[in-house]
Structure 1
Amino acid sequence: MDPDEDLLARSAREPTAFEPLVARHSAALHGYLVRRAPAAADDLLSEVWLQAYAHRATFDAARGSARGWLFGVARNVLSRHRQTTARAAGRAEQPDADATTADPWQAVDQRLDAASVAPELRRRLAELPASERELLLLVAWDQLTPAEAAAAVGIPAGTARSRLHRARARLRDGLSGPARTTLTGDFA
């Protein structure tokens, strides 16, 4: 199996080399979009692949992995979608209400525990600065490494690690009682 970075480089002269990237990363990118814009996720995924293909020559392996670059493309597409939606609605962008929806594949016990702390966790996530919240969600939900998340948001890896540490600390410190007990292991 060819590494993603090689496929991206080859796709500039051999367009069919791009196809395995779509097969490998569509599910993860779709999950990212569903958690942030459920009603538009399918259309946004199509736009992500169109943009990634159109701009594949701009990928620079020295700046990070292909996976991180693809999530960066997805993040930009999502941002444009939110701006367009906000303009159309005549209001400022609001955080996605469904951003903290529990993963439907979790065990029943985990879902019950999460449901009990969800309101407090949702509130604490909303209070985080947008840059910290995005990094935390990319790592926690989308299972990107901190370096891949850094590439996705366009910042140095060291900056991402410190923001991620700060976000985890703020989230952990802001939770109380059962919420802190339930989530401390995940965010320690």
Structure 2
Amino acid sequence: MRDHEVLAAFERIYRADVGAITRFFARRCTEPQLVADLTADTFVRAMTSFATFDASKGTATSWLYGIARRTFAAHLERSARTRDLVRKAGGRRELDTDELAELEARIDAERPGRALLERLAELPALEREAVELVHLCGLAPKEAADALGVPRGAMRTRLYRAMARLRRVVEDEVEAR
């Protein structure tokens, strides 16, 4: 592929998935600047590794969610080492009023998703991520398997177990009322 074709292909992927990746981070963060930074970091990483993307191994969307997961994990690791990193604005482009308002709206819109993630916290990490990718992000189970780097058959088992555990949590909450 020529350079302009590669750029056009990446632009199509970006346009198709930027909203989903932004929502992914908006479920995890309440600070608009951080959501914008993590989304941008994800696409910078995707752009620099686009030559290695292999559509025969999965969809571009599942590939991007894999990158987003690693981006968020790296952020958490940095934050754990330096707690005040999130509060500092040094080196960041300040968001204009419209961008800030849009990200605040997305963060507000993802409030139910954040609440679900809190309930999912009781699940093992891979089951929690599987439920999120399939039921919140809308990936097919095989795409979620690709994003998580697990066999596709194992993904279905993880989803089944996770949903059974969630049903028990909800049933216990209903009984407690």
Deviations 1:4-46 (A, max 9, x none): xxxxx77696323311111111001100111012321110111
2:54 is aligned to 60
Output aligned runs, 1:103-122, within 5 Å: none
Which consecutive unaligned segments of at least 5 residues does structure 1 have?
1-8, 91-97, 104-117, 181-188
1:11-160 equivalence runs, <5 A = 14-39=6-31, 40-89=34-83, 101-102=111-112, 124-160=119-155
Taking structure 1 as reference, are residues 30 and 179 closer, same or farther at Cα in structure 2, changes over 3 Å only? Answer: farther
Greater shift, 30-39 or 12-21, is seen at 12-21
Percent sequence identity over matched residues?
Answer: 39
Query: Following TM superposition, by how much is the alpha carbon of 1:63 offset from its aligned partner in structure 2, in angstroms?
Result: 1.9
Contact (CA 8 Å) 1:12, 1:56: kept in 2 or not?
no
Q: Deviations over 1:138-175 (max 9, x none)?
A: 11111111111111111121111111111111111222
CA contact (8 A) 1:34 1:41 kept: yes
Q: Distance in 2 between matches of 1:123 and 1:22?
A: 29
Ranked by relative contact order (alpha carbons within 8 Å, sequence separation 6 or more), the top structure is 2
1:164 to 154, 159, 165: 159
Amino acid at match of 1:172: R
Is this contact kept in 2: 1:135–1:164, CA < 8 A?
A: yes
How large is the Cα RMSD of the aligned pairs?
Answer: 2.8
Helix, strand or coil at the partner of 2:80: helix
Aligned residue pairs total 149
Match of 1:6 in 2: none
The TM-score normalised by the length of structure 1 is 0.69
Q: Structure 2 length normalisation: TM-score?
A: 0.73
